[in-house]
């Protein structure tokens, strides 16, 4: 019987679970084995060679060691790959471990050590590239300057859309076209495969900090890359050598999180629409960065490249850093914390936190505050932000009074 063609919502529930019936179980199995029995020296050695080289287990072989292969991790990888329309997925201990493995693998495979990075990017990625730690030379540029930035020794183009933290949208097809055969990696963390499929647009890799929306509950750290089989093998080789493996328990939680991903993302997106519209009315807010507004999507990518605007918002406050400090300290329902994509709403100041290591010319303004909208009732979120924004004026009056005295 031919496999069913499933709607993405159904796929999110069932992907990576094809073997459960044959195992006689309904819930995802969790294999915590750090080492595995060997059928014999010859077969064990062959198993080690195949897995350490980036291959898959074979019949009669062994998984050998958890740094090489784990079935719980593999199920999550398969599920994510199917959601991303990729041939395979490779999971890592964090999003930054995934990015590091990509850079090491592409440099080794191509023999090239130059990367073009479209700013803005997540602060950790920007910092890694700028550090020179991996022996990679990076040219930073805007989306419209990628063609001029590519050199003969360029191994990869990296972009993020929506970008962190200003939510700028990048035309992925256009970047792939001007890259002219240079592989393009898209950080798809903000959009998720619910809203965007970079591989369908020509990208070679779609990367996630799985910590965020894929897990969705703020209780697991991981990273994952969806790509073709050849690239996946190179990434698994790199993972086996460097040891940046995803723990099976983390893979279990991430796989479980995928089943509710479409429902969560759409609900969070609808609440974000309400909150963003309301923020435009506030005198304390000088600008709202939100892809659902026409001025934030000049290329018309929402509805074409990206199915919806997502659930992230960034605002600029007229009072600058002091206003941002007052606002983030005054929230009660929002959690003042880094990260995003959780069921609860988060608020943070990128320039002081996630983008603190970024070079000054690319660091976001001190007036910028980033919001990750969760699953709370939007009316409650608006009430909390009303209180927090009102506190800015109250703090200002206290400072003025103190100065006068």
pLDDT digits (tens, 9 = 90+) for 215-270: 999 999 999 999 999 999 999 999 999 999 999 999 999 999 999 999 999 999 99
Q: What is the mean pLDDT of residues 387-394?
A: 88
pLDDT of residue 400: 37
pLDDT of residue 58: 96
CATH of the domain at 320: 3.90.1150.10
Q: Which of 231, 258, 285 is the last residue of a domain?
A: 258
pLDDT band at 116 (very low <50, low <70, confident <90, very high): very high
pLDDT of residue 394: 63
Residue 318 has pLDDT above 50, yes or no: yes
pLDDT of residue 397: 47
pLDDT of residue 404: 41
pLDDT digits (tens, 9 = 90+) for 331-350: 999 999 999 999 999 999 99
| Domain match, 168 and 308 both | no
Distance CA 294, CA 277 (A): 12
Contacts of 331 (CB under 8 A, 6+ apart): 347, 384, 385, 387, 388
Q: Which structural domain range is residue 97 located in?
A: 8-33+70-258
Residue 1 has pLDDT above 60, yes or no: no
Q: What is the mean pLDDT of residues 111-135?
A: 96
Instruction: Give the Cα-Cα-Cα angle 290, 349, 225 (nearest 5 degrees).
Output: 65
| Domain match, 219 and 296 both | no
Chain position carrying tokens 């599920």: 79
Give the pTM: 0.94
What is the overall mean pLDDT for the chain?
Answer: 95
pLDDT band at 403 (very low <50, low <70, confident <90, very high): very low
Q: Which of 243, 258, 273 is the last residue of a domain?
A: 258
Residue 280 has pLDDT above 60, yes or no: yes
Residues 369 and 327: beta-carbon distance below 8 Å:
yes
| Domain match, 245 and 285 both | no
pLDDT band at 359 (very low <50, low <70, confident <90, very high): confident
Q: Which of 228, 243, 258 is the last residue of a domain?
A: 258
pLDDT of residue 251: 98
Q: What is the mean pLDDT of residues 270-285?
A: 98
Determine if the peptide bond prior to 165 is cis (ω within 30°): yes
CATH of the domain at 18: 3.40.640.10
Distance CA 105, CA 164 (A): 24
Number of domains, the chain = 2
pLDDT band at 3 (very low <50, low <70, confident <90, very high): low
Percentage of residues in the chain with pLDDT exceeding 70? 96
| Domain match, 304 and 237 both | no
pLDDT of residue 353: 82
Q: Where are the beta strands (DSSP E) in 302-342?
A: 312-317, 335-336
pLDDT of residue 364: 84
Percentage of residues in the chain with pLDDT exceeding 90? 92
Q: What is the mean pLDDT of residues 282-291?
A: 97
pLDDT band at 360 (very low <50, low <70, confident <90, very high): confident
Residue 402 has pLDDT above 50, yes or no: no
Catalytic residues: 67, 122, 187, 212
């Amino acid at each position: 019987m031919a496999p069913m063609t499933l709607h993405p919502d159904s796929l999110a529930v069932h992907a990576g679970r094809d073997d459960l019936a044959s195992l006689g179980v309904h819930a995802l199995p969790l294999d915590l084995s750090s080492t595995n029995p060997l059928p014999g020296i010859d077969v064990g050695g062959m198993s080690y060679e195949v897995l350490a080289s980036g291959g898959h287990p074979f019949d009669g072989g062994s998984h050998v060691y958890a740094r090489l292969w784990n079935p719980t991790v593999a199920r999550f990888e398969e599920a994510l790959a199917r959601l991303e329309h990729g041939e395979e997925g490779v999971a890592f201990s964090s999003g930054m471990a995934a990015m590091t493995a990509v850079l090491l693998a592409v440099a080794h495979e191509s023999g090239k050590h130059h990367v073009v990075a479209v700013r803005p990017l997540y602060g950790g990625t920007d910092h890694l590239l700028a550090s020179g730690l991996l022996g990679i030379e990076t040219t930073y540029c805007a989306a419209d300057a990628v063609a001029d930035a590519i050199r003969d020794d360029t191994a990869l183009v990296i972009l993020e859309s929506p970008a962190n933290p200003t939510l700028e949208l990048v035309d992925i097809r256009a970047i792939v076209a001007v890259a002219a055969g240079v592989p393009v990696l898209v950080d798809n963390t903000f959009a998720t495969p619910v809203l965007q499929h970079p591989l369908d647009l020509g990208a070679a890799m779609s990367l996630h900090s799985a910590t965020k929306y894929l897990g969705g509950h703020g209780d697991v750290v991981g990273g994952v890359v969806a790509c073709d089989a050849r690239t996946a093998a190179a990434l698994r080789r790199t993972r086996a050598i460097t040891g940046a493996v995803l723990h099976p328990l983390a893979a279990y939680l991430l796989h479980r999180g995928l089943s509710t991903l479409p429902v969560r993302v759409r609900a969070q997106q609808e609440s974000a629409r309400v909150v963003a519209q309301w923020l435009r009315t506030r005198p304390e807010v000088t600008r709202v960065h939100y892809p659902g507004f026409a001025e934030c999507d000049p290329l018309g990518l929402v509805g074409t490249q990206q199915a919806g605007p997502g659930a992230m918002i960034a605002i600029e406050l007229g009072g600058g850093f002091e206003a941002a400090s007052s606002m983030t300290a005054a929230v009660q329902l929002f959690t003042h914390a880094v990260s995003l994509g959780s069921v609860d709403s988060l608020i943070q100041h990128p320039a002081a936190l996630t983008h603190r290591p970024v070079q000054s010319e690319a660091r976001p303004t001190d007036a910028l505050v980033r919001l990750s909208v969760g699953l709370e009732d939007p009316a409650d979120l608006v009430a909390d932000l009303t209180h927090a924004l009102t506190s800015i004026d109250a703090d200002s009056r206290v400072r003025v009074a103190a100065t006068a005295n």
